[in-house]
Structure 1
Amino acid sequence: MWRARLCLEPFDPAAALAAFAKQIDAGTGAVVTFTGLARGANRNGLAVETLFLQHHARLTQRSLDEIAAAGAERFNVAGIDLIHRAGAIAPGEAIVWVAAAAAHRRAAFEAADYLMDRLKTEALFWKREDGADGSTWVEPTDDDHRERARWS
């Protein structure tokens, strides 16, 4: 079981976990989650007032679906769920939430890690940081690509 959702409004990671936990079977021994939050400062330490994730509804959803399905296929998991925001996001708000459930912890940890590395580098979003000093488009870093390469 896997699910990937593109979300245009703020979401509650605790509510997402509660809903996910109701869907996993009794053989599950581990659930690992990750919540990514919008930062209030960019890589140069300048204030970010709004993070804006531009998207193409159909293509972005397809990229999220492909990443979630690949994680479910690659790891011995009972379930995967991911939520990714798009649009205007305020500092401190959740951008992404990933959950992986498995019989044992290692598979759940690895699946969540894999999903995040793929989301950082492959999900179809155009990311812009807006602040008092103007707007800057943001690309994945070399470190992001190195982390993704671990899974090749």
Structure 2
Amino acid sequence: MIKVGPEDSIPQRIEPLTNKSINWAGDKFFWIFYVWIIFGFRIFLWMIGIEDSAAAWTATNIVHSVVTFFAFHWIKGTPFSYDQGIYDKLTFWEQIDCEIQNTWTRKFLLIIPIVLLLITCNHTKQNTSLMMVNVFFASFVIIGKFPAMHRVRILGINK
């Protein structure tokens, strides 16, 4: 008969491998900075002479969608070699919170493009063509963040 000691009867919690290249995404300071950058870009557009609210918010939405699509959903791996290649096949979005879905960080990063789309559509004053452009660009970023899209490569693109 084998005796089980008290240290063997308690299951040990295994800590997930910490990915140092994306830990900052869950920091509240980053969240404030992220929102500030978006509104700062909108103010920059006003300062260079784009005073039409619909055009400025559409440009903000398009730039945000393109930049975050490539940064979060296209580029794979990490810039550091400490991880020895374990993240080389994962995008930034897939690496967030050790691939755990529906965390506060993921929810925040999903809400931002949705709110930006709503603000943009509100300022287009029901201009159908501008709304379609905004929905088209925002849809790539929003759909890519759904849990069902985790590790999915549509038609093998970016495999």
TM-score, scaled to structure 1 = 0.31
Quick check: which has more Rg, 1 or 2? 2
TM-score, scaled to structure 2 = 0.30
Q: Which has the higher helix share?
A: 2
Q: Which has the higher strand share?
A: 1
